[in-house]
Copies of this chain bind each other. A is one copy, B any other.
Amino acid sequence: MSLQRLKQRVLKNPEVKAEYDKLEDEFNLIDQLLTMRSKAGLTQEQVAERMQTNKSNISRLERGNANPSWSTLLKYAHACGFELSLQAQKMH
């Protein structure tokens, strides 16, 4: 909640955003989604249009501990101009 809010504000600083965008690390799912949209420089509404849905659903996807389907993840990524694949690494 307040973490999201903080991130939101922080990312408004263009320099900070640039740095943030460089980090390609292992984030949780939501962070990965936010990062894609951030890099694309799109609003939720713009992503929604490209996904043929509504902005409220994008908000839900990005906030409410999401459990989206693979096709939804693909649509979102494509809307943000990304190709998506799974990365599996052996646990040990």
Contacts and interface: CB of A to CB of B under 8 A. Distances in A.
A29 B86 CA distance: 8
A52 interface: no
Interface in A61-90: 66-71, 73, 77-78, 81-90
A27 to B, nearest CB: 8
A39 B35 CA distance: 31
B91 A81 contact: yes
Contact of A67 (B35, B66, B70): B70
A42 to B, nearest CB: 13
Interface of A: 26, 29, 32, 35-36, 39, 66-71, 73, 77-78, 81-91
